[in-house]
Structure 1
Amino acid sequence: MTAPSSRADVVRFAVVWTTSLLSSVGSALSSFVLGVWVYQTTGSVTGFALVMLAAMLPPVLLGPLAGAVADRFDRRRVLLGADAVSGVATATLALLVHTGGLRPWHVCVAAAVSAAAGAFHFTAYQAMTPLLIPARHLGRANGLMQLGMAAQIAAPAVAAGLLTAVGTTGVLVLDLVSFAVAVSVLATVRLPARVLRPARTEPPKPLRADLAHGWRYLRARPPLLALALVFTGYNFIYGLAGVLVQPLILGFASATTLGLLMLAGGSGVFAGSLVMGAWGGPRNRMPGISLFMFAGAVALALHAVRPSPLLVGCAAAVFLFTLPIVQGCGRTLFQTKVEPASLGRVSGTVQALGQVAQPVAYLAAGPLSERVAEPLLADGGALAGSVGALTGTGPGRGVAALFLAAAVLLALLAAATALAPALRTLETALPDALDPETADAR
């Protein structure tokens, strides 16, 4: 790749990244205000949880199909189609809000449709990235791609103000505007044919075979399968902490403080994404994943030590700072070790494996907290004299104990990642799909 061509591809990536980020921000704002609407309308935590569950299941169920589509068809059209479907779902909700006909089940259906479209968008986007960015810049690109997560975490602070100013319909209209801008820009940017549909080394297989291709690919390469399972465990721990952090904070602080601490957490993701975007991550990515996982484990443990808003706010920011670096290093490894023609199907399978952990964590968090941890950490409970010496006892400290358990799990996962032979040697045992010179000359 010549220098001008390389610069042009970086510019193209920047355009695609900007449109995806803009769409993510709009979607995060809509998701928050719709969740608030469901809770205020039904007064039910279960109703709110159903909306979240509706948004989680489609990526798990559709990941392999999204990967097959990304490898079979023009990836720009996949992105445009996914954004169009999400836009139609949002427009339908806006119309229902405006006419007073919106019902909670409408929100669940729309959340599922948007999440399904998002699975196709994310997989095609991941598959395009290593074909747009020189190999030496992939870590930076994957770091910047985590800014969408920062937007999702910080959305409540922004959306609450917008909700007061323009109402639910206004926020949905803003989301539609973000979709329109993203689709318009993506439709006009010039992308090379190799990015849109990379050449396949084998003739197209039946769709059913393609759905299993990602799993077969991983099984044939145990280090990559082990890495995918590491991120399944990592997502479970992240999901457990994510669903419990609000009850933890509300156990000793006000809703206003909760909002400020959520914003602090979002700032951690934002800072981590910018650092990863500028740095690109460690040269040896597997040791880097282990190191930042362990740092995240320490931060999770600090959540449990004392019911202090300042301590929890700092710990949340540190934990979420590590997230873009760990995720960015993992995605870069898959992008550099998997051939471009298979990357969509492998990414879809990895996404499904990773995403399945979060619903499990969400479903487990409530019973573990209410029926196990809280009774054990109550004053005079069975663990009051042992674990309680670290976390304190009484209402809400069972949740703190679960944070401590999550920290231990994450530390063990970091140790396994550092010590398991298949993972420790992954970077040298598996050849790069495109070495840096070839990748930059493609």
Structure 2
Amino acid sequence: MRVFLIVWFGQLISLIGSGLTNFALGVWVYQRTGSVTQFSLILLFGLLPSIVVSPIAGAMVDRWNRRWCMILSDSGAGVTTVAIALLLVAGNLQLWHIYLAVGLSSVFKAFQLPAYTASTSLLVPKEQLPRANGMVQSAQACAQLLSPLLAGVLLGIIQLEGVILVDFATFLFALTTLLLVRFPDTKTDVVPKEEKTSLWQEAMEGSTYIFGCPGLLALLIVFALDNFVAGTVEALLTPLVLSFTSVTVLGTIQSMGGAGMLIGSVAISIWGGTKPLIRGIFAFDILAHLCILALGWRTDATLFSLAMFLFFFSVPIINSSVFTILLRKVPPAIQGRVFATMQALALSCIPLAYVIAGPLADRIFEPLMAADGLLAGSIGQILGVGPGRGIGLLFITMEIIAILVTVSIYRYPRLWFIERELPDVI
């Protein structure tokens, strides 16, 4: 645990630093362009390259030393940060520079995340994996909660250049922690020398392994569905909240979500999760869907704050439990590929949600729930009519379908008994 704690603390500091720069660059782009589309492109460039590269990255992580993979990934992300800082100081920073830098950082992240996650099983005893994964989730929660607050203060004091310098210092700190420790060796070459395969064939082994285990495939479907819901909420929550209240209240609601994620991460770190873990995943998965369903019923800031708190409280418990099952059941030699494949397939649902959510809300659900809309005299009498009520109906419709699908998937015996049927590899 000592080595894990050192690495975890370094990554925590680095995540906070990266959050500072991401927030500050988003503000810089929006202030100079006034374009929501240009701002949204930062989110897209920060996600798509990681999805595309993940299968190959997972195969390379399994070939390489995972500690050095993390070192090189952190170094590459640090170099892109320095490049942005130099362009900014020289007065030559353009939008395409930012998109390129964010895209490159996303590629490095595709290597770093599978290496970091797969290394956990090398460093932590099997019985401590739920708590260790909870700590990983807590680091992400801290970054989500603290980075926007710190960036808002620092931008007014040291400007964008200073924020980027702070971010680079956090990269150096994370790099130092990795250089100071050693990871246990693991057998990563599972292919006999005379049967060597190409890198692409190895990359496909992650999906082959998942599709060969029906329980893991069902778990991936659940994970993908949850990511689609989260992407839809991320895309539509701001216009929904602003349809009935102020920007200040919106910030409060989002802060409640960050607080819920942090408390949920600490809770799973101390608690360790249910036994078996799949029961906890199901329970908190249903709770998360019910929270989003509640957002559609009433335009009430208190209800929204409570729903977002409980939703984000559930997220780290679900993620930590899923990662623990994978670390216990997937052989260490192919964990990089399996985690990368899960990441690519699950995260691909988020940009899909971005693309679908806006047109569904603008062209179908909002007109239906307008004051003179087709549903104003029926459903509108229950949910209300006017701006935002179409998004509310979309949330309710989406969550009714999501809950039915979730319950159906969990009734599948291969998923419900996954911890009993798949042997522990540790």
> Residue 226 in 1 paired to residue 218 in 2?
yes
1:428 pairs with one of 399, 420, 423:
420
> Aligned partners of 1:332, 1:390: CA distance in 2, in Å?
42
Query: What is aligned with 2:14?
Result: 23
Query: What is aligned with 1:127?
Result: 118
Q: Which amino acid aligns with 1:186?
A: L
Query: What is aligned with 1:417?
Result: 409
Secondary structure of 1:320's match? helix
CA contact (8 A) 1:289 1:325 kept: yes
Q: 1:270-328: per-residue Cα shift (whole Å, max 9, x none)?
A: 01100011111111122211111111112112212221211111110111100011111
Query: What is aligned with 1:437?
Result: none
Q: 1:362-381: per-residue Cα shift (whole Å, max 9, x none)?
A: 11111111111110111131
CA contact (8 A) 2:264 2:316 kept: yes
> 1:416 Cα deviation (Å)?
2.3
> Residue 81 in 1 paired to residue 99 in 2?
no
User: How many residues in Structure 1 have an aligned counterpart in Structure 2?
Assistant: 423
> 1:48 Cα deviation (Å)?
0.8
> 1:211 Cα deviation (Å)?
1.2
> 1:234 Cα deviation (Å)?
1.1
CA RMSD of aligned residues (A): 1.5
Query: What is aligned with 2:203?
Result: 211
CA contact (8 A) 2:12 2:140 kept: no
Query: Identical aligned pairs, as a percentage?
Result: 38
2:42 pairs with one of 51, 60, 65:
51
> 1:390 Cα deviation (Å)?
4.1
Query: What is aligned with 2:387?
Result: 395
> Residue 200 in 1 paired to residue 190 in 2?
yes
> Aligned partners of 2:230, 2:256: CA distance in 1, in Å?
17
> 1:202 Cα deviation (Å)?
4.1
> Residue 183 in 1 paired to residue 183 in 2?
no
CA contact (8 A) 1:54 1:108 kept: yes
CA contact (8 A) 1:285 1:329 kept: yes
CA contact (8 A) 1:153 1:263 kept: no
Q: Which amino acid aligns with 1:80?
A: I
Give the alignment of 1:199-278 within 5 angstroms. Answer: 200=190, 202-203=192-193, 204-278=196-270
CA contact (8 A) 1:286 1:417 kept: no
Q: 1:147-177: per-residue Cα shift (whole Å, max 9, x none)?
A: 2432453232332122112211111111101
CA contact (8 A) 2:370 2:376 kept: yes
Q: 1:87-109: per-residue Cα shift (whole Å, max 9, x none)?
A: 01111111122222111111111
Query: What is aligned with 1:163?
Result: 155
Q: 1:388-423: per-residue Cα shift (whole Å, max 9, x none)?
A: 344321011112222223322332243123212221
> Aligned partners of 1:216, 1:206: CA distance in 2, in Å?
15
CA contact (8 A) 1:300 1:319 kept: yes
> Aligned partners of 1:390, 1:29: CA distance in 2, in Å?
42
TM-score (norm 1): 0.92
Q: 1:230-264: per-residue Cα shift (whole Å, max 9, x none)?
A: 21111111111122111111111211222222111
In structure 1, the gaps of 5 or more residues are 1-9, 435-442
> Residue 313 in 1 paired to residue 305 in 2?
yes
Query: What is aligned with 2:135?
Result: 144
> Aligned partners of 1:191, 1:379: CA distance in 2, in Å?
63
